[in-house]
Structure 1
């Protein structure tokens, strides 16, 4: 039995379904997040049938801007996804391996990462999918290396020590 290649983002990513346009108003972004039951959304612009990733907008971002608007008054211009999103979110490519993905998820405590090719959004990879994939890879590795993990029989080693050839 041979160990399978190390999984990468291309093996794990899913199609991105939760996106908003940059001109989407703050109230509509909040409605979208609560209706879909997601904690963040990617802000994209359509360009020749492809999606260009512009930023990321989370519940926390919406909470901050909505509470500020209520406390301080309505800003001018009206807040949209483009005006409040986090620009340049951390992204990965389709060939990022599962170990690099694990490191990013652990270091930054993200739940998912956008997957890009150039400037275009091609998918999303979730922390839970990386964990599942890494666990499967580990289980394969253990099966292949199980004999290396078996304790050595000390009696057998000692018997070899006292064998004398005549």
Structure 2
């Protein structure tokens, strides 16, 4: 019993929000952030929580580690961002050892394209393979395919989503 109470005191954020800013920051993600905060949740949102001059990848890894839940907004260009893929790898590592709940939102993308690394995601990973180590790209692909297998929300832009 002592370990569960000590682990809960380590948690700093209710939710870590992972998204590609250029894709969703000014629309969907902003609304999601407001809704979560409106429910009284403490959300790690990079623009609000990062300290000036702080090493970005280290700060994000720490924030992920001290969050109860990660919500990943998977948009068409999510996989083109190395920082998004680094976040995703950290998130899925914690998920695999049952230290975090992961909730994917498939935002205008097909969940099977995430799981199978198809469509725009295939091109993004092909581009990474020309610039990054084989091991790093393999790690990212594994994490990406795993999040594609999870239950989540599919927001396809139809009239019922609005």
Q: Which has the higher helix share?
A: 2
Same fold (TM over 0.5): no
- Structure showing greater radius of gyration is 1
Q: TM-score, normalised by structure 1?
A: 0.23
Q: Which has the higher strand share?
A: 1
Greater relative CO (CA pairs within 8 A, separation 6+): 1
